[in-house]
Amino acid sequence: MLSKNLCISELGELYDRNTNQTIRPNYSRTWVRIKTVADVKATLRAGPFAWPGGYPLYFVCTDGEPLSFESARKEFDCIVDGFRFGDPAWTIIGVDVNWENEELFCSHSNERIESAYGECPV
């Protein structure tokens, strides 16, 4: 939880209301192309749904495999090591929307990644 004087701007910057100064420019933002661990952290803070629209997101690793937001949070140390040592199974290169794939599963946890339009109505 942020203190009363800290806010997140529409651009995803963390800033101080009292001084109107940016404290961290890359705080909470969804990055389509991820280049650094800071981009992963900002995307995790922004959450697993696209804005606008609320479409479900997932991470894409260098090896092309999908990784859920929950697995990325739980295994963040592995992601950091992936960036440090070049492990393609843990190096995240981007985020994508799961539009219609009902059979998309996280490569780590094997949990199903929700799709935007693939589910049949009940």
pLDDT band at 37 (very low <50, low <70, confident <90, very high): very high
- The pLDDT of 11-16, averaged and rounded, is 84
Q: Burial, 95: exposed, middle or buried (Cβ in 10 Å; 0-12, 13-18, 19+)?
A: buried
Whether residue 31 has pLDDT greater than 90: yes
Q: Report the share of the chain in percent with pLDDT over 90.
A: 71
Using DSSP, state whether 106 is helix, strand or coil: coil
CA 111 from centroid of its chain's CA atoms: 16
Please give the pLDDT value at position 120. 60
Please give the pLDDT value at position 35. 97
52, two tokens: 């606008």
Whether residue 63 has pLDDT greater than 60: yes
